[in-house]
Structure 1
Amino acid sequence: MNAAKHILVVDDAATVRMYHRTILEEAGYAVTEAANGVEALEKAAGAAFDLYLVDVNMPHMDGYGFLRALRGQDGPQVPAIMASTEAADSDCRRAFEAGANHYLVKPTRPQQLARIVGLLLGERA
């Protein structure tokens, strides 16, 4: 069996990180956590991730800033899902402009999150 795909969950709320970690680990993924965009960039520089699950509103660097910084780097680009309580079309548009591949409105549903992650990683049809 292949090694588990590695996902970085970026959210300032510990309870949300734990919720997403539980869903993703039950689906067979390895998970690392970061509490904001600055910490996430540091972790991304030191490890290869297969996907990013990113909150919008965080201290120090929000999700938009993190994705713009990540997408501005040389090297392989992997899928990113932005998850936010913000549900307006303008929020979704900003996420895609920053480099997101998908936008989810929180609270995320476990089956939906696992399905979208699998699709973006090319594992499920």
Structure 2
Amino acid sequence: LDLLLIHSPKLGRKKTAELWKGLIDAKDSGKVRAIGVSNMNFGEISDLEAATGVAPEVSQIQFHPWTPIQWVDLVSKLAREKKIVTTAYTSLGGSRFRAAGSHWGDALSEIA
């Protein structure tokens, strides 16, 4: 497996750290090439690193034309400082724009 992510920190700090340790073990055993997180802020990422000594290699964030650019700049800067690769999901805005039938949803559907 090339990449395995924890999708969300909603399990709470302790259970997320336990899950992260499982991902570390999977990587150490050679079952996974890279491990990372999705939908986590840098406080949550720092908590994982503090609990295990291992930082994620990848941080997946929501990024689309309506994402505040200041937030993206901050997240990207912090990721670069920690040598964490940033990846994106919902890059065309996701189904909520298409389902709403908005002008932007139609335009994005044409592009896709």
Give TM-score, length-normalised by structure 1. Answer: 0.42
From the two aligned structures, give the one with the greater helix fraction.
2
